[in-house]
Amino acid sequence: MSMYLCKTIKILGRQSLKNAVRSSSHFTYAPEKNDPSLGDATKMNMMQSINNALDIALSSDKTAVVFGEDVAFGGVFRCTLGLQEKFGKGRVFNTPLCEQGIAGFGIGLAAVGATAVAEIQFADYIFPAFDQLVNEAAKYRYRSGGSWDCGGLTVRAPCGAVGHGAVYHSQSPEAYFSHTPGLKVVVPRGPIKAKGLLLSCIRESDPCIFLEPKTLYRGAAEDVPTKDYTLPLGKADILRQGDAITLIGWGTQVHVLTEVANIAKDQLDVNCEVIDLVTILPWDIEAVCNSVKKTGRVMIAHEAPLTSGFGSEIAATIQKECFLHLEAPVSRVAGWDTPFPHVFEPFYLPDKWRCLEAIKNLINY
- 169 part of the active site: yes
Length, in residues, of the chain: 365
Catalytic choice (26, 169, 255, 302): 169
**57: three-class secondary structure by DSSP:** helix
User: Which residues are within 8 A (CB) of 73 and not within 5 positions of it... i.e. 6 or more apart?
Assistant: 81, 84
State how far the alpha carbon of 71 is from the alpha carbons of 23, 174, 175, 256, 357, in Å: 34, 23, 26, 31, 42
Assess contact for 101 and 132: CB atoms under 8 A: no
CA–CA separation, 137 and 153 (whole Å): 8
Number of H helices, E strands in the chain: 13, 14
**128: three-class secondary structure by DSSP:** helix
CA–CA separation, 333 and 358 (whole Å): 7
- 99 part of the active site: yes
State how far the alpha carbon of 153 is from the alpha carbons of 110, 132, 163, 166, in Å: 6, 12, 30, 29
Catalytic choice (69, 99, 174, 222): 99
Handedness of CA 135, 67, 93, 127 (dihedral sign): positive
CA–CA separation, 193 and 255 (whole Å): 14
Assess contact for 292 and 246: CB atoms under 8 A: yes
**191: three-class secondary structure by DSSP:** helix
State how far the alpha carbon of 232 is from the alpha carbons of 117, 317, 343, in Å: 19, 22, 38
Assess contact for 325 and 292: CB atoms under 8 A: yes
Active site residues: 99, 169
